């Protein structure tokens, strides 16, 4: 192997003739490349497949003592290795060259090798590879931007509720204040959090999420604050936590209401001090993190019950933002349904479908206990049920049309002393009970039909006194 030079890139040379390998090594080494030499296809392939090994390019002889170079090329491409491969042969033919290019070779050189030709071919191959990587990076960035736009579009709507929400996000996004996002499951709290981050001065810094309902209690502290090597079984190295990873950016504490009092105390201390300590460590680490939290729980009730810290609540709720339910902005249902139809059709490579006025009217009449997430699920099911370009009421899932309001039944009057929230809760209770009965007590199946996750449905059942077999008194 030659000494590293100014270019420093590693090039593999595989040829069964030692003189050819030495010639190429000398040519490339003089230009500053690192060179590794191989005399057969098996050894070069094994080297390429070693973990952590990276080659800028490969000069590969067509005729090798163990396997031919075209077979090696096939294996390289089959393994997903995208390095430039330059085939070389002492008695090449047009047919061989064409075959090599079809198999993924970047170019074809004939022996004897000319210095200028070798270097020019290599430089062109490396440049094409660089441009391809840049295109891939650009494509991924475009895809990420598209996903971000799609997320933002979930906040579509010109009704009063969404107009107020967007104004709140605009004001809160420009500040450094901590934000507490509240709202039912499926309304888009994570999207709101990401929108806040992108509207903030920290937009170019990390957005890091911690889901308090998804991480086991015995792991949450390590996930939040990191740990040092040897602090517990399995801690084989020092590891940064998500709080530290979010330094300079935004830390999104999702489902904050599901975190234990012990974890709440740790979070409160980190907010107050602006410093953290890794599990098992003694060193304090200063952090600059903006906290955005979210929950579907009633935190004031939890405070009264002693299950959520009042001091943490006031630390988090500097700017409270409530995300409206879909029922509270039913005027936005048509634009959201059309958006989801376009989005899902694009993902499946099919022509976007539209909705008839009757179908949109049926969707608007639904109370949507699962909110925006449920609407997306319903649109996806409708697209699966038909290949037509226009979706009518007959193409909607049956349970959508069977709900009382979807059949044209007039909404009941409020009872004396009953609020709109009380009435809505009572209605949702009836709907859930109906669907649960139709699913014969199968909570998972009922949750799927309602567009809810199983945990959320269990929580509502517990609060309403509903069991898996129906309503309990």
Over the stretch 230-257, which tens digit does the pLDDT of each residue have?
888 777 788 899 999 999 999 999 999 9
Instruction: Kindly indicate the confidence band of residue 6, based on its pLDDT and cuts at 50, 70 and 90.
Output: very low
- The percentage of the chain sitting over the pLDDT mark of 70, rounded to a whole number, equals 86
Residues 436-465: pLDDT tens digits?
766 767 777 777 777 777 777 877 777 766
- The percentage of the chain sitting over the pLDDT mark of 90, rounded to a whole number, equals 40
Calculate mean pLDDT across residues 392-408.
64
pLDDT at 472: 34
| Sign of the four-CA dihedral 271, 274, 278, 283 | negative
User: In whole angstroms, what is the distance from residue 407 CA to residue 422 CA?
Assistant: 22
Residues 345-378: pLDDT tens digits?
887 777 888 999 999 998 988 889 889 889 988 9
| 8 Å CB contact between 323 and 193 | no
Residue 412 has pLDDT above 60, yes or no: no
pLDDT at 438: 65
User: In whole angstroms, what is the distance from residue 79 CA to residue 186 CA?
Assistant: 41
Residue 149 has pLDDT above 60, yes or no: no
pLDDT at 407: 38
Mean per-residue pLDDT over the chain, rounded: 83
| 8 Å CB contact between 253 and 267 | yes
Global pTM?
Answer: 0.57
Instruction: Kindly indicate the confidence band of residue 298, based on its pLDDT and cuts at 50, 70 and 90.
Output: very high
Calculate mean pLDDT across residues 88-106.
80
pLDDT at 428: 75
Calculate mean pLDDT across residues 141-167.
72
pLDDT at 418: 55
Instruction: Kindly indicate the confidence band of residue 229, based on its pLDDT and cuts at 50, 70 and 90.
Output: confident
Calculate mean pLDDT across residues 260-268.
94
Instruction: Give the chain's domains with CATH numbers.
Output: 10-133 (3.40.50.2300), 154-322 (3.40.50.300), 328-411 (1.10.8.60), 413-473 (1.10.10.60)
Residues 9-67: pLDDT tens digits?
899 999 999 999 999 999 998 888 999 999 999 999 999 999 888 889 999 998 899 98
Instruction: Kindly indicate the confidence band of residue 468, based on its pLDDT and cuts at 50, 70 and 90.
Output: very low
pLDDT at 139: 72
pLDDT at 417: 56
């Amino acid at each position: 192997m030659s000494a590293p030079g100014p270019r420093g890139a590693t090039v593999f040379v595989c040829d069964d003739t030692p003189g050819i390998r030495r010639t190429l090594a000398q040519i490339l080494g003089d230009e500053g490349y690192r060179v590794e030499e191989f005399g057969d296809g098996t050894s070069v392939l094994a080297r390429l497949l070693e973990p952590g090994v990276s080659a800028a390019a490969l000069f590969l002889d067509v005729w090798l003592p163990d396997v031919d170079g075209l077979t090696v090329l096939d294996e390289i491409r089959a393994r997903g290795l995208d390095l430039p491969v330059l085939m070389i042969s002492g008695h090449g033919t047009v047919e061989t060259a064409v075959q090599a290019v079809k198999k993924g070779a970047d170019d074809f050189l004939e022996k004897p090798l000319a210095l200028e030709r070798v270097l020019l071919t290599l430089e062109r191959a490396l440049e094409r590879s660089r441009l391809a990587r840049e295109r891939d990076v650009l494509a991924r960035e475009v895809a990420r931007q598209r996903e971000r736009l799609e997320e933002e579009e979930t906040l579509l709507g010109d009704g009063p509720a969404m107009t107020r929400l967007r104004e709140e996000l605009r004001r809160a996004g420009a500040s450094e204040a901590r934000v507490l996002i509240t709202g039912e499951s499926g309304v888009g709290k994570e999207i709101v959090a990401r929108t806040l981050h992108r509207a903030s001065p920290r937009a170019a810094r990390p957005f890091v999420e911690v889901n308090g309902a998804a991480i086991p209690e015995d792991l949450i502290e390590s996930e939040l604050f990191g740990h040092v090597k040897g602090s517990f079984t399995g801690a084989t190295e020092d590891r940064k936590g998500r709080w530290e990873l979010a330094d300079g950016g935004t830390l999104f504490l999702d489902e904050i209401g599901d975190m234990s009092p012990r974890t709440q105390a740790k979070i409160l201390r980190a907010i107050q001090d602006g410093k953290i300590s890794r599990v098992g460590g003694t060193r304090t680490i200063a952090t600059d993190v903006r906290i955005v939290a979210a929950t579907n729980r009633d935190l004031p009730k939890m405070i009264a019950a002693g299950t959520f810290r009042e001091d943490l609540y006031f630390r988090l709720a500097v700017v409270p933002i409530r995300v409206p339910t879909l029922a509270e902005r039913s005027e936005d249902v048509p634009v959201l349904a059309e958006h989801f139809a376009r989005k899902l059709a694009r993902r499946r490579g099919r022509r976007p479908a539209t909705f008839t006025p009757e179908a949109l009217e049926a969707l608007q009449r639904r109370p949507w206990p699962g909110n925006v997430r449920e609407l997306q699920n319903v649109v996806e099911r409708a697209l699966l049920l038909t290949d037509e370009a226009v979706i009518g009421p007959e193409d909607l899932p049956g349970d959508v049309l069977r709900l009382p309001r979807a059949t044209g039944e007039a909404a009941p009057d409020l009872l004396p002393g009953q609020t709109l929230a009380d009435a809505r809760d009572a209605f949702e209770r009836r709907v859930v009970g109906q669907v649960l009965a139709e699913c014969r007590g199968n909570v998972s199946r009922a949750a799927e039909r309602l567009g809810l996750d199983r945990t959320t449905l269990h929580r509502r059942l517990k609060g309403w006194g509903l069991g898996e077999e129906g309503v309990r008194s």
